[in-house]
Structure 1
């Protein structure tokens, strides 16, 4: 990752000031074609640090193309408390549905193949992008958003956030939110801490920027390049209603991740799982 640094933009500072000044009620919803409202989830246990992988935002995230599901998503729940102390690790109450997520991109060598597979099966996923990768691959970020996927914030340079000052966290998250908003027309509503390492600063600053923290339930460990069969096996064995699957589309050789998705996605759909994304309105 490049280590170019600059002060937080004026827009970031204004958004932080607005977020810290007033609590806004929003609703979390999932693109669930069954139309079943979510239940209020019990706060999950704290996520442990793992491999690479609100005062809430007032403006809604609107996909610029029609949703890939037939019905409007149902309401989920108010985003309370405004500042969380644990990330979401799963999405209870969404029926037989799962969330696929990809970190560290976009990468022109692998992200287009992942997008092609998702489009082939008419499903959406979450892409937690790094700001410097988004800056260098603007067309890919636009494609992710245009095809109806959720673009999340994964920091600018993928640092260990727990070692940063508040100013450092603000810079990493704020700059990434700014570039996402510039490219997609809307700021991100979700963020994921690099390495799954969260702390109070990241929760508070993420919330002030209008984002909810998202972790994962199933780690494919694809960053270790364990082999396509191993990645497929971890996803299939971990499949269950409401789980969030962690994979990567950048940060190394991700050809196994691409090949694994082509295998396990049709299998999940054949078993009756819906692949969905959370978003808010």
Structure 2
């Protein structure tokens, strides 16, 4: 059964079980380092995008300032520095041999700080050839970069979309290979899910991902530690558009505009179901955000 078709009660059981177990969900934390002055990070609800099939499930992205802002302004509009200092690769091995210097984070970043009127748009669960190209086209039209958290299973089938993201300057993050609830997996299985996806991204784009997002927004100690071993930092979100519920284009637009603010990270999806509403909503809220003076940014590597 697809997760976006899962009965509400079953989704609630999943969330409660994650909260009561040895897990850390994004809704429990407000990042001390990314929290913007004067704003309180709204706890995001776990995303219930579809469970991947054999091909895997997709991921989500973040965005950068319009071309009209100029390259210098774009360069200044960036996320806070990395919490981990990445050590060199060991020989010519794959991304799974990267290491991050402790301390390992015990909570995901939820927002940015110290960057003025900036926001991040992120898209999960892709790439999907039905919707991802349209999202890329809209971002390109406004000179904006985004952050896409991809699932290895789907990405392996459409490496051309990963290359297109890279060519447009978007940041590609790791959203696991098959979109499982990682809190239910053994550490070795978590390492396979994240490591295989990092390896794929590096083979296709030439650069391993530096960010990852747990499916369903469910994290635990092992996922934080293994993510750090792979040289990645955990990024959650501030505003959940709930677009996976297909609430209507107007509802998605309202959630983004109502939640807009300095340092906000917006969660949307470019796969995992019918994402035509997400595509249409982006075309409406993106120009409004830019007109309101927001810079839509991506983290710098």
TM exceeding 0.5: yes
2:44 and 2:239 in contact (8 A); partners too: no
Q: CA deviation at 1:154?
A: 0.1
Unaligned runs of 5+ in 2: 2-31, 51-65, 85-101
- How do residues 61-210 of structure 1 correspond to structure 2 at under 5 angstroms? 70-71=71-72, 72-73=75-76, 76-77=80-81, 79=83, 82-210=103-231
Q: CA deviation at 1:40?
A: 4.9
2:124 and 2:150 in contact (8 A); partners too: yes
TM-score of the two chains, using structure 1 as the length reference: 0.77
Q: Distance in 2 between matches of 1:270 and 1:241?
A: 15
Aligned length: 230
Q: CA deviation at 1:52?
A: 3.0
**What's the counterpart of residue 15 of structure 1?**
none
1:118 and 1:124 in contact (8 A); partners too: yes
| 1:221 and 2:242 matched | yes
Q: Larger % of helix: which?
A: 2
Deviations 1:225-273 (A, max 9, x none): 0000000000000000100000000000000000000000000000000
**What's the counterpart of residue 230 of structure 1?**
251
**What's the counterpart of residue 259 of structure 1?**
280
- How do residues 264-279 of structure 1 correspond to structure 2 at under 5 angstroms? 264-279=285-300
Q: Distance in 2 between matches of 1:182 and 1:165?
A: 26
Q: Distance in 2 between matches of 1:101 and 1:251?
A: 15
**What's the counterpart of residue 51 of structure 1?**
48
Unaligned runs of 5+ in 1: 2-38, 54-66
**Cα distance 1:90–1:229, how it changes in 2: closer, same or farther (>3 A)?**
same
Q: CA deviation at 1:155?
A: 0.1
Q: CA deviation at 1:46?
A: 8.1
Runs of 4+ in structure 1 over 3 Å off: 39-50, 72-78
Q: Distance in 2 between matches of 1:262 and 1:75?
A: 24
